[in-house]
Structure 1
Amino acid sequence: MSTTPPRGGEADSVDDVIALVSATLPKLIEVIQAPVSIEDLALAMVHRSWSYEHGGIPTNERLEFLGDAVLGLVVTQELFQLNPNAPEGQLARFRSSIVNSKALADVARTLDLGSHLLLGRGEAASGGADKDSILADALEAVIGAVYTAAGLDAANDLIHRLFDPIIAQSSDLGAGLDWKTSLQELAAKRNVMPPEYVISENGPDHDKRFTARVQFGSELLGHGEGRSKKAAEQQAAATAYAELTNNIA
C-alpha cells in the first residue's frame, strides 16, 4: 500500500484516507462479508506510524480498543457454552490460545489485511505489513468497525466465521496449571527435549512489547507477544503446544 498522501500536502481528514484506499476497500468489504461503513473501515487501516507522517489524523487504535472487547466477549461466551464443566482457569487458557497476537495475525493474513494497511515509510520498509502485532491490531479494528456499523449480531457472525475453527481446536489443548506447564509435561510425555524460551523486547520504556520464541533444540515451534515476558511466554507455549499436538498426535 502506498504511503503517499492523496494530494500535495498532508492527509489531514478522513476523506483523504478514504480517497487513498478507495480502490481496495470494496475488495476488503467483499472478503469480510460484513456490514461496515467506508469511513470506519478506512480508519481501521490507519496505523499510527502513517498518521504521524500525515498530519496526525485519527488512527485505528480506538476501533482496535472496541474490537478487542467485542472479540473477547464473543470468544468467552462461546467457550463458556462449549465447556460447561471447565473451571475458570482452564477457560482463560483456552481463550489465551485464541485471542493472542499470533492467532489474530494468522486470521488477518487469510483476509490479506496487510495489503490494505496504511503504514509510515519506516514501518512499511521494516515489513510492518506482515508483523503479527500490527495485523492483530488491524483485525480487531475491523471487528470494531463492524460492531459500530451493525451492532453485536453482525460482529458475532464475523467472529464466528473467522474463529470457529480455532475455538473448536482450543478445547483439545492442554489442561495443566498454565501453558508453559502443559507444554513441559507434553514434552516429557513425548520424550522430546525440554522447551527453551528466547525473549526479545522492543519499544520505549512506557510501551514495551515482548516477543518470546519457544524452541525444542534448534527447532522453533511457537512464538508469542505480550506486554510482559510472562504473557509472551504463555502465548508462545500455547502455540507450540498446538503445533506439537498436531504434528505428533
Structure 2
Amino acid sequence: MTQPLARLQRILGYQFQNEAWLQLALTHRSISGKRNNERLEFLGDGLLNFVIADCLYQQFPDENEGRLSRLRATLVREESLVILAHEWKLSEFLIMGSGELKSGGYRRDSTLADAVEAIIGAMHLDGVAMPDMQAHIRRWYGERLLRIEASDALKDAKSRLQELLQGRKLALPTYELVSVTGEAHEQHFQVRCLLAASALTAHQDIITEGEGVTRRVAEQQAAAAALAVLELGAGQKNGIR
C-alpha cells in the first residue's frame, strides 16, 4: 500500500480490500482514454443519489416527491461534492497527466466532484454493502444532512436573488473576488456581492460578503446574505419586526 493512498483511506474511514479500485477512482482521463474514473463516476453518482434519496425519505415523512427531489439535488450537486473533496484533501491524491496538472486541473470543481462520485463507485465494487455505504455517506455529510430543512429545497441563493431583481427590472448583482488564501490544493475564497441602490434596496448600495472552499460556494453565501438583507428590509417596510 502506498503512503498517500493509505492516508486517503484513513480520511475516508474505509480500508479498501483491493486498492486498485481506489487508484482507478483517482485516475483522470488525461492519463488514459479507456482506463480512467469515468465509469466509476457514473456508478457512484447513481449510488449517491439513491442513498441521499433514502435518507431524505426517512428524514422528511411529510414532504412530497417534488420537494424531496429538490432537497436531494441540493445535497448531490457539484458544490456539495466539492466541499467533501476539500475535506478529504482530494486534490493531493488525483492521478492525472502533466498537462492537466500544469493547467490546474487538480483544482477544478468538476474534476473534484467527479472523483468523489468515483470513490463511492469504487467502494461499492470493493464490496461495501448498501447499509455500510449509507453509513459512510451519512458520516461524510454529517451536519449538512442532519440539519437540512425542507425550505432548503428552494433554488440556490444566486438564482433566487437574480430572479427577484429581474422581476423588479433592477440591475443584477455583481460579484467581486476579495481574496484567495491558502495553498493551491486547499484554497479559501472570499467574495463580495454588490447590489446597486434602488427602491428595493432602500436607495442605498447593499454590500455583502461570503466565503468558502470554492469561489462558487463563496458567491452563494454572499448572495444568501444579500437576500437576507432584502427580506429584512421588506419586513420592516411592511411593519414586521
TM class by shorter-chain length?
0.5 to 0.7
Deviation string for 1:33-65 (max 9, x for gaps)?
A: 1242201000011000122xxxx4510111111
**1:63 aligned onto 2:40:** yes
- Partner of residue 85, structure 1: 62
**3-state SS, counterpart of residue 30 of structure 2:** helix
Output the amino acid matched with 2:10: E
Does the 8 Å CA contact 2:211/2:221 hold for their aligned counterparts? yes
Work out whether 1:132 is the aligned partner of 2:146. Answer: no
Cα 1:57/1:93, change in 2 over 3 Å: closer
Give the partner amino acid of 2:79.
K
* C-alpha distance in structure 1 between counterparts of 2:156 and 2:224, whole Å: 13
Q: Does 1:29 align with 2:20?
A: no
What is the CA–CA distance in structure 1 between the aligned matches of 2:35 and 2:25, rounded to whole Å? 10
Displacement, 1:79?
0.9
Say which of 108, 111, 114 aligns to 2:91: 114
User: Matches of 2:135 and 2:26 in 1, distance apart?
Assistant: 21
Paired residue total: 194
Query: Following the alignment from structure 1 to structure 2, what is the Cα–Cα distance between the partners of residues 194 and 222?
Result: 23
1:151 match: 129
- The reply on whether 1:170 has 2:170 as its aligned counterpart is no
Match of 1:39, SS state, is helix
| Residues 191-202 of structure 1 aligned to structure 2 (within 5 Å) | 196=173
With over 3 angstroms needed to count, the CA separation of the structure-2 counterparts of 1:182 and 1:44, relative to structure 1, is closer
Offset of 1:158 from its aligned partner? 1.4
Q: For the residues of structure 2 that align with 1:111 and 1:138, how far apart are their CA atoms? A: 11
CA distance change for structure 1 residues 116 and 133 in 2, over 3 Å: closer, same or farther?
same
Change (3 A) 1:74 1:181: same
1:220 CA drift (Å): 7.1
- Given that 1:63 and 1:141 are in contact with CA atoms closer than 8 Å, whether structure 2 keeps it comes out as yes
Name the residue aligned to 1:160: 138
- The 3 A distance-change label for structure 1 pair 172 and 243 is farther
* Structure 2 equivalent of residue 99 of structure 1: 76
TM-score of the superposition, structure 1-length normalised?
Answer: 0.64
Structure 1: distance between partners of 2:131 and 2:64: 27
Percent identity over the alignment? Answer: 29
Cα distance in 2 for residues equivalent to 1:169 and 1:162: 14
Shift of 1:174: 4.1
Q: Which residue of 2 aligns with 1:72?
A: 49
Q: 1:216 to 1:93 in 2, by over 3 A?
A: farther
> Once the two structures are superposed, what CA deviation does each residue of 1:114-157 show, in whole Å capped at 9, x if it has no partner?
10001222221122112111111101111111111122223212
Q: Could you say if the C-alpha distance between residues 92 and 43 of structure 1 is closer, same or farther in structure 2, counting changes exceeding 3 Å?
A: same
2-structure distance, mates of 1:222, 1:128: 22
Q: Distance in 1 between matches of 2:143 and 2:161?
A: 25
Contact 2:26-2:95 within 8 A present in 1 as well? yes
Deviates most, 38-47 or 86-95: 86-95
Q: CA RMSD in A?
A: 3.8
Partner amino acid for 1:111?
W
Q: Closer, same or farther in 2 for the Cα pair 1:83/1:222, shift >3 Å?
A: farther
- Whose radius of gyration is greater, 1 or 2? 2
Query: Do the aligned partners of 2:161 and 2:223 also contact (CA within 8 Å) in 1?
Result: no
Residue 25 of structure 2 corresponds to residue 44 of structure 1: yes
Gaps of 5+ in 2: 176-190, 196-206, 233-241
> How far apart, in 2, do the equivalents of 1:77 and 1:197 lie?
38
